[in-house]
């Protein structure tokens, strides 16, 4: 059994969605953990789900990063544990310094709930193994999804292959029109230097069943149990 | 507006010294004195003022509302509770209600709409149900007016802000842009949730000896007397001064309160729950006590406040949001407190339930109010508006309700459909009609609502099978094969001409939209938005609206399980159009077998079922050309047969796609089907004597559904139609890149799609 912990902060709302999504993957066992009682010992992976932790007051993720749960995430990450942050989880991981860059208000200042396409730029993480170069269709739902970084950091993470997902159009091209929130370089998801922490704004847990309009998220999450051999990383187009 | 009390910000800090300042009439004040047996003090007047306000006391509507059909085999909880419920079988209840937040939204659109969402969510989770979906029905003036656009931005921004943060998907809605709402927008929100039947909680479970807790937000000076002084009077000069009566929402706290409440229910630690909405603590305490047949002793000095030096009046009348009254089971107080604590909520014990049926309000040791809860909650006078309504009816009702079989005969720019071969003139006509179709598709009445709904989370919760943009939303239920469809609708253009037909048409449309997804309608919830019921016209409109809903419910076999009435929707003396908003819930035995919103496949047949006797009188096309006139009609028996026919046909798996013919008429319905997958169709208009081709294209009437079926099923579908006595026309076939309506129209589907997608964003001056 692959044991996966799902963290729940006050205001988190995707924890039950992730638990349901992972329940459809054979060989995965999940546990929702309250942030104050987080204990990731004995778990293979941790999920930081979407929501509005602490109401996004101050800044999305800015208060959650001070929680005991985030402290435990830091320990877990430093020991090589696998962490996936989606939506508010991505924001928390960036605020906590576990991932590069920051997420600010969408360029049009409006919340955006929609389906987007993201291209897998790097298949060397556990979640993207075997998916290199593929274009996945996933829902987004966020008001602060615009990834930014200072020019040096941006150049560094690009050069180091830490860009994991980019917003693209139906032809797989990263155009401005395909970018739902104004992210630098159409960046939808990044990883840390060691590749064990992954964050993305889209919601893989919302697309694991064809009934709900798509199952590309299943391909990503199923990698938790079946990490296939990686393919060549997609070239930056 | 002179009738309403002057309400400056300085005055809100003090209780009103005379009953008139609390919003009570001389007659009502006399009634209060009789019930109480003495002269009430200022706080007591204010409590009566709030509870006997139109908003809380339903003085002008209670009598009428009792006539609504509310029984049915699937009804688990009928009107009168926080929300209604239907039984889905297997121990699962579907809990739902629609409610208005019109006056607050008129004055402060963002917070007004946000707290409207918050209030309806609390109504549902106070029943022990987890909210699964929200819907909203919004009514604005012409978006070309910058003031209207500001209101729209505020209202939609407030809904987005609140619903997204709590994490409840917004799955369907209705938006009208009509002159009748320019100064008095309507904001109605509906919430649907699920509860296991053993988890259902009502306000009526409180028993003597139990403790009373107030949990959630601290009580502040926001929304003081909102129900009695804001929601129960017309808007006009001085409305801006009422801004302090609008509440301010905190969706993060709502989310914590929601989770804590559901945990209390799951732990079976509470015997009664009541959310604090209109009239705040006064309403929650008196309603729980009245419904449970007990009394309560409340100490306002124990209520946590967010402002200093608040008076008992302010504490009892505050409408601070995100609060819940909780009555734990005896001995479970510790568990309840621990759950509050874990969710970082302030939960304070503010009193206890007592045997004596009396609401005793203390400020520390001093008793500041002593009132029988039933007098507050149940004894508000009921005004019979029948006579007032009759006085209006007798002068205006002549001719209304008369059947009109054909399109409006007095208005036509074209002769009958040409039968001659296409000429240069005919080609010009074709081009002209094509442009008219594009204009209509891009008009605010018809254009895609995506520019708005994409600012609402539609997928959180991972139950949304079909979200906004379809005839109705489809939701699955995890762990079960069945599912539900939800729609919310209104027919203001029809209701403005004839409120009876408009209300009946709204019920028909909401249920028809469920049927278009393949779901069997179970029950409805209604929100009646009307003008001033003290004027003959308002009284008549309210009466006819209720009669219209009743007629439609009886004909279609759906009960009303919950609802809300919003009166005094008038600004500077001008009433809004009478607007019945109908939220409908239907069921699929197998949710995977819903009718997906597709264009069908090339070669499929396109049919029109139901009523083809359309007219431009109350249509979107007519409205865009300054035409708005009756007669308007609805044949409820035909509507019932149509719905049964479509469900029977779907049960045989014969329907590939379906779409309600609504705003914009048949041409728009066909265009919207083509736009879904970008596949065109080639059709001819149904030949109806006396119906001009423009009327046939753009005319509207209830009871029409466009169906797409496999060609091999045509015989079977025709047989079912004649069995159900439903008129059926074969219009043509699916295929190609054009929407061709021979001989009048040929348009690339891509052009239709662009017009439809971009129209509203352009009208609202937003990016699409």
Q: Is the peptide bond before B743 cis (omega within 30 degrees of 0)?
A: yes
Stretch A73-91: mean pLDDT, rounded?
Answer: 97
* pLDDT band at residue A227 under the 50/70/90 scheme: low
CA distance A18 to A87: 12
pLDDT in tens, A126-162: 999 999 999 999 999 999 999 999 999 999 999 999 9
Sequence-ordered list of residues with C-beta below 8 angstroms from that of B410, at least 6 positions apart, any chain: none
Task: Write out chain A residues lying below 8 Å of B343, CB-based.
Answer: 10
Strands (E), chain A: 2-8, 28-34, 45-48, 82-86, 102-104, 112-120, 135-142, 146-148, 163-168, 187-191, 197-200
Measured on CA atoms in the order A122, A145, A12, A39, is the torsion positive or negative?
positive
Strands (E), B592-666: 605-610, 655-660
- For residues B58 and B65, the answer to whether their CB atoms sit within 8 Å is yes
Compare CB distances from B344 to A10, A51, A113 and report the shortest one's residue: A10
CA distance B729 to B552: 25
Among chain B residues, CA nearest to A35: B342
Which one, of B334, B213, B336, B313, lies nearest residue B266 by Cα?
B336
What per-residue confidence (pLDDT) applies to B532?
93
* pLDDT band at residue A16 under the 50/70/90 scheme: very high
Measured on CA atoms in the order A54, A58, A62, A68, is the torsion positive or negative?
negative
Q: Does residue B695 surpass a pLDDT of 80?
A: yes
* pLDDT band at residue B691 under the 50/70/90 scheme: confident
**Chain A: closest CA distance from residue B166 (Å):** 7
For residue B191, the tally of other CB atoms under 10 A from its CB is 29
Residue B218 tokens, joined:
């601290």
Compare CB distances from A112 to B454, B461, B478 and report the shortest one's residue: B454
Per-residue CA distances from A79 to A72, A74, A75, A76, B229 (Å): 11, 9, 6, 5, 61
Residue B160 tokens, joined:
């987005």
pLDDT in tens, B348-361: 999 999 999 999 99
| Number of helical (H) and strand (E) elements in chain B, helices listed first | 24, 28
Answer left, alpha or beta for residue B725, where phi above 0 means left and psi between -120 and 50 means alpha. left
Contact A111 B342 (CB under 8 A): no
Which one, of B105, B586, B225, B623, lies nearest residue B411 by Cα?
B623
pLDDT in tens, A47-74: 999 999 999 998 999 999 999 999 999 9
Task: Write out chain B residues lying below 8 Å of A14, CB-based.
Answer: 167, 460
What per-residue confidence (pLDDT) applies to B278?
87
**Chain B: closest CA distance from residue A124 (Å):** 28
Q: Which one of the listed residues B60, B101, B103, B174 is annotated catalytic?
A: B101
Q: Using a pLDDT cut of 90, give the percent of chain A over it.
A: 93
What per-residue confidence (pLDDT) applies to B239?
64
According to DSSP, the β-strands at B346-354 and B295-299 are antiparallel
Sequence-ordered list of residues with C-beta below 8 angstroms from that of B171, at least 6 positions apart, any chain: B133, B134, B135, B458, B464, B467, B468, B473, B475, B486
pLDDT in tens, B93-103: 999 999 999 99
Task: Write out chain A residues lying below 8 Å of B590, CB-based.
Answer: none
pLDDT in tens, B423-459: 677 677 777 999 999 999 999 999 999 999 999 999 9
Degrees (nearest 5) of the Cα angle B58, B64, B70?
A: 100
Which one, of A103, A193, A112, lies nearest residue A148 by Cα?
A103
- Residue B19: phi and psi, rounded to 5, are -55, -30
Which one, of A99, A104, A17, A13, lies nearest residue A53 by Cα?
A13
Task: Write out chain B residues lying below 8 Å of A114, CB-based.
Answer: 454
**Chain B: closest CA distance from residue A91 (Å):** 15
Q: Please, which residues 583-602 of chain B have a Cβ atom closer than 8 Å to chain A?
A: 591-592
- Judged by a CB distance cut-off of 8 A, whether residue A74 touches chain B is no
Which one, of B202, B171, B260, lies nearest residue B84 by Cα?
B202
Q: Does residue B398 surpass a pLDDT of 60?
A: no
Q: Does residue B53 surpass a pLDDT of 50?
A: yes
Residue B488 tokens, joined:
């919310």
Task: Write out chain B residues lying below 8 Å of A56, CB-based.
Answer: 165, 252
- Judged by a CB distance cut-off of 8 A, whether residue A194 touches chain B is no
**Chain A: closest CA distance from residue B335 (Å):** 18
Stretch A78-104: mean pLDDT, rounded?
Answer: 97
Q: Does residue B414 surpass a pLDDT of 90?
A: no
CA distance B482 to B494: 35
Contact A211 B342 (CB under 8 A): no
Measured on CA atoms in the order B245, B250, B254, B257, is the torsion positive or negative?
negative
Task: Write out chain B residues lying below 8 Å of A203, CB-based.
Answer: 459
CA distance B737 to A226: 43
Task: Write out chain A residues lying below 8 Å of B474, CB-based.
Answer: none
Q: Is-catalytic flag, B101?
A: yes
Answer left, alpha or beta for residue B516, where phi above 0 means left and psi between -120 and 50 means alpha. alpha
- Judged by a CB distance cut-off of 8 A, whether residue A182 touches chain B is no
Estimate to the nearest angstrom the gap between the alpha carbon of A215 and the chain centroid: 16
pLDDT in tens, B450-473: 999 999 999 999 999 999 999 999
Sequence-ordered list of residues with C-beta below 8 angstroms from that of B394, at least 6 positions apart, any chain: none
- Residue A186: phi and psi, rounded to 5, are 60, 25
- For residues B62 and B541, the answer to whether their CB atoms sit within 8 Å is no
User: Which pTM does this prediction carry?
Assistant: 0.93
Contact A212 B250 (CB under 8 A): no
What per-residue confidence (pLDDT) applies to B229?
65
* pLDDT band at residue B415 under the 50/70/90 scheme: very low
Compare CB distances from A211 to B167, B453, B476 and report the shortest one's residue: B476
Q: Does residue B228 surpass a pLDDT of 80?
A: no
Q: Does residue B542 surpass a pLDDT of 60?
A: yes
CA distance B195 to B111: 29
Compare CB distances from A13 to B160, B455, B460 and report the shortest one's residue: B460
- Judged by a CB distance cut-off of 8 A, whether residue A50 touches chain B is yes
pLDDT in tens, A156-197: 999 999 999 999 999 999 999 999 999 999 999 999 999 999
DSSP string for residues in A31-67? EEEEGGG---TT-SEEEE--B-GGGG-SSTTTTGGGS
The highest-confidence range among A224-233, B123-132, B413-422, by mean pLDDT, is B123-132
Residue B631 tokens, joined:
């007669």
- Judged by a CB distance cut-off of 8 A, whether residue A206 touches chain B is yes
Among the ranges given (A104-113, B57-66, B226-235), the one the predictor scored with the smallest mean pLDDT: B226-235
For residue B483, the tally of other CB atoms under 10 A from its CB is 25
Q: Please, which residues 250-269 of chain B have a Cβ atom closer than 8 Å to chain A?
A: 250-253, 255-256
Q: Does residue B129 surpass a pLDDT of 70?
A: yes
What per-residue confidence (pLDDT) applies to B246?
73
**Any idea which residues of A carry the catalytic annotation?**
87, 203, 205
* pLDDT band at residue B20 under the 50/70/90 scheme: confident
Q: Does residue B47 surpass a pLDDT of 90?
A: yes
- Judged by a CB distance cut-off of 8 A, whether residue A37 touches chain B is no
Which of A22, A141, A208 is most worth mutating to test chain B (most B CB atoms within 10 A of its CB)? A141
* pLDDT band at residue B573 under the 50/70/90 scheme: confident
Stretch B633-653: mean pLDDT, rounded?
Answer: 98
Sequence-ordered list of residues with C-beta below 8 angstroms from that of A66, at least 6 positions apart, any chain: none
What per-residue confidence (pLDDT) applies to B767?
59
Which of B455, B460, B470 is most worth mutating to test chain A (most A CB atoms within 10 A of its CB)? B460
End-to-end CA distance of chain A, in Å? 38
CA distance B152 to B141: 9
CA distance B655 to B669: 16
Per-residue CA distances from B246 to A49, B12, B15, B277, B677 (Å): 34, 12, 18, 12, 44
Mean pLDDT taken over chain B? 91
CA distance A220 to A164: 12
What per-residue confidence (pLDDT) applies to B423?
63
Q: Is B628 exposed, middle or buried (0-12, 13-18, 19+ CB in 10 A)?
A: middle
What per-residue confidence (pLDDT) applies to B5?
37
- Cite the DSSP H helix spans in B625-702: 636-651, 665-677, 693-698
What per-residue confidence (pLDDT) applies to B416?
35
The C-alpha torsion from B122 through B201 and B300 to A10, rounded to 10°, is: -50
Compare CB distances from B255 to A11, A57, A110 and report the shortest one's residue: A11
Degrees (nearest 5) of the Cα angle B276, B282, B283?
A: 55
For residue B522, the tally of other CB atoms under 10 A from its CB is 26
- Judged by a CB distance cut-off of 8 A, whether residue B460 touches chain A is yes
Compare CB distances from B462 to A111, A114, A212 and report the shortest one's residue: A212
Q: Does residue B11 surpass a pLDDT of 80?
A: no
Strand, helix or coil at B480?
coil
Contact A113 B767 (CB under 8 A): no
Q: What is the enclosing helix (H) or strand (E) of B452?
A: helix B450-453
Which one, of B222, B126, B217, B134, lies nearest residue B171 by Cα?
B134
- Residue B580: phi and psi, rounded to 5, are -95, 115
Compare CB distances from B454 to A16, A113, A212 and report the shortest one's residue: A113
Q: Does residue B408 surpass a pLDDT of 90?
A: no
For residue A212, the tally of other CB atoms under 10 A from its CB is 19
What per-residue confidence (pLDDT) applies to B242?
62
Compare CB distances from B455 to A51, A111, A206 and report the shortest one's residue: A111
Q: Which residues sit opposite B739 in a β-bridge?
A: B681, B747
Contact B164 A21 (CB under 8 A): no
What per-residue confidence (pLDDT) applies to A229?
41
Task: Write out chain B residues lying below 8 Å of A21, CB-based.
Answer: 462
CA distance B47 to B540: 30
CA distance B505 to B580: 10
Stretch B733-761: mean pLDDT, rounded?
Answer: 96
Ordered strands of the B130-140 beta sheet? B75-77, B84-89, B92-100, B186-196, B130-140, B170-177
Which one, of B653, B737, B656, B158, lies nearest residue B452 by Cα?
B158
Quote the DSSP letter at residue A229: P
Which one, of B697, B739, B746, lies nearest residue B412 by Cα?
B697
Q: Does residue B722 surpass a pLDDT of 80?
A: yes
Task: Write out chain A residues lying below 8 Å of B460, CB-based.
Answer: 13-14, 17, 50, 141, 206
- HSE (side-chain half, CA atoms, 13 Å) at B619: 28
What per-residue confidence (pLDDT) applies to B264?
96
Q: Does residue B728 surpass a pLDDT of 80?
A: yes
CA distance B527 to B100: 7
What per-residue confidence (pLDDT) applies to B372?
97
């Amino acid at each position: 059994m692959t044991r996966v912990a799902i963290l729940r902060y006050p205001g988190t709302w995707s924890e039950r969605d992730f638990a349901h999504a992972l329940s459809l993957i054979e060989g995965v066992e999940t546990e929702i953990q309250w942030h104050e009682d987080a204990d990731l010992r004995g778990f293979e992976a941790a999920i930081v789900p979407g929501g509005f932790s602490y109401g996004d007051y101050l800044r999305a993720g800015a208060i959650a990063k001070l929680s005991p749960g985030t402290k435990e995430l830091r320990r877990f990450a430093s020991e090589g544990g696998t962490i996936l942050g989606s939506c508010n989880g991505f924001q928390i991981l960036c605020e906590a310094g576990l991932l590069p860059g920051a997420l600010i208000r969408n360029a049009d200042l409006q919340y955006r709930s929609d389906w987007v396409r993201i291209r897998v730029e790097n298949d060397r993480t556990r979640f993207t193994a075997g998916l290199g170069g593929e274009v996945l269709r996933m829902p987004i739902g966020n008001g602060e999804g615009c990834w930014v970084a200072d020019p040096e950091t941006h150049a560094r993470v690009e050069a180091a292959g830490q860009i994991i997902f980019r917003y693209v159009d139906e032809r797989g091209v990263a155009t401005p029109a395909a970018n739902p929130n104004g992210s630098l370089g159409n960046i939808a998801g990044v990883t840390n230097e060691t590749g064990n922490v992954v964050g993305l704004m889209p919601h893989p847990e919302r697309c694991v069943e064809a009934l709900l309009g798509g199952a590309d998220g299943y391909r990503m999450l199923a990698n938790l149990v079946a990490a296939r051999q990686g393919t060549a990383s997609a070239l930056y187009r | 507006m002179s009738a309403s009390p002057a309400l400056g910000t300085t005055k809100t800090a003090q209780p009103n010294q005379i009953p008139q300042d609390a919003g009570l009439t001389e007659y009502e004040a006399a009634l209060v004195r009789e019930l109480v047996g003495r002269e009430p003090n200022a706080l007591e007047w204010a409590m009566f003022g709030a509870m006997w306000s139109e908003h809380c006391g339903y003085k002008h509507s209670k009598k009428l509302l009792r006539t609504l059909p509310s029984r049915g085999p699937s009804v688990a909880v009928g009107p009168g509770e926080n929300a209604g419920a239907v039984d889905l079988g297997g121990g699962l209840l579907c809990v739902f209600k629609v409610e208005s937040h019109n006056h607050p939204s008129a004055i402060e659109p963002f917070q007004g709409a946000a707290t409207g969402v918050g209030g309806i969510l609390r109504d549902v989770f106070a029943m022990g149900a987890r909210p699964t979906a929200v819907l909203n029905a919004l009514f604005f003036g012409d978006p070309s007016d910058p003031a209207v656009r500001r209101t729209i931005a505020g209202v939609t921004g407030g809904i987005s802000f609140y619903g997204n943060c709590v994490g409840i998907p917004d799955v369907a809605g209705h938006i009208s842009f009509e002159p009748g709402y320019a100064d008095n927008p309507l904001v109605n929100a509906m919430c649907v949730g699920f509860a296991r039947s053993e988890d259902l909680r009502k306000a009526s479970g409180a028993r003597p000896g139990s403790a009373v807790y107030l949990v959630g937000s601290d009580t502040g000076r926001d929304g003081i007397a909102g129900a009695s002084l804001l929601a129960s009077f017309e808007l006009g000069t001085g409305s801006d001064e009422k801004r302090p009566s609008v509440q301010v929402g905190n969706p993060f706290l709502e989310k914590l309160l929601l989770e804590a409440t559901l945990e209390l229910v799951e732990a079976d630690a509470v015997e009664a729950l009541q959310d604090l909405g209109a009239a705040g603590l006064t309403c929650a305490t008196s309603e729980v006590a009245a419904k449970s047949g007990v009394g309560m002793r409340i100490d306002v000095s124990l209520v946590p406040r967010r402002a200093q030096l608040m008076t008992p009046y302010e504490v009892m009348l505050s409408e601070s949001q995100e609060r819940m009254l909780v009555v734990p089971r005896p001995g479970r107080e510790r568990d309840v407190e621990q759950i509050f604590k874990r969710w970082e909520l302030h939960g304070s014990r503010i009193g206890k339930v007592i045997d004596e049926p009396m609401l005793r309000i203390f400020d520390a040791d001093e008793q500041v109010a002593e009132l029988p809860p039933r007098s507050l909650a149940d004894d508000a006078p009921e005004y019979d508006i029948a006579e007032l309504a009759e006085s209006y009816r007798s002068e205006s009702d002549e001719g209304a309700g008369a059947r009109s079989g054909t399109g409006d005969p007095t208005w036509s720019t074209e002769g009958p459909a040409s039968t001659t071969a296409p000429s240069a003139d005919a080609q010009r006509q074709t081009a002209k009609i094509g442009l008219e179709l594009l204009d209509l598709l891009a008009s605010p009445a018809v254009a895609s609502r995506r520019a708005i709904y994409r600012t609402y989370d539609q997928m959180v919760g991972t139950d949304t099978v079909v979200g906004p943009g379809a005839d109705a939303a489809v939701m699955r239920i995890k762990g079960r094969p069945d599912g539900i469809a939800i729609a919310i609708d209104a027919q203001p253009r029809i209701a403005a001409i004839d409120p009876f037909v408009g209300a009946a048409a709204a019920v028909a449309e909401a249920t028809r939209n469920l049927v278009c997804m393949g779901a069997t309608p179970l029950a409805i919830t209604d929100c009646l938005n009307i003008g001033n019921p003290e004027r003959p016209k308002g009284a008549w409109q309210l009466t006819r609206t209720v009669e219209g809903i009743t007629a439609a419910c009886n004909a279609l076999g759906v009960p009303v399980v919950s609802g809300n009435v919003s009166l005094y929707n008038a600004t500077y003396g001008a009433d809004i159009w009478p607007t019945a908003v109908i939220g409908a819930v239907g069921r699929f035995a197998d949710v995977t077998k819903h009718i997906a919103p597709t264009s069908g496949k090339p070669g499929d047949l396109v049919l029109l079922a139901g009523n083809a006797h359309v007219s431009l009188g109350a249509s979107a096309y007519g409205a865009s050309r300054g035409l708005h006139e009756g007669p308007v009609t609805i044949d409820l028996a035909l509507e019932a047969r149509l719905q049964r026919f479509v469900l029977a046909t779907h049960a045989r798996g014969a329907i590939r796609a379906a779409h309600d013919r609504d705003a914009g008429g048949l041409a728009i319905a066909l265009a919207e089907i083509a736009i879904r997958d970008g596949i065109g169709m080639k059709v001819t208009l149904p030949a109806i004597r006396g119906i001009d081709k423009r009327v046939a294209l753009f005319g509207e009437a209830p009871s029409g559904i466009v169906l797409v079926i496999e060609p091999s099923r045509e015989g079977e579908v025709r047989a079912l139609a004649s069995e159900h006595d439903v008129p059926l026309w074969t219009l043509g076939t699916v295929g190609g890149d054009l929407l061709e309506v021979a001989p009048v129209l040929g348009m690339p589907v891509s052009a239709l799609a662009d017009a439809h997608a971009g129209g509203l964003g352009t009208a609202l001056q937003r990016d699409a």
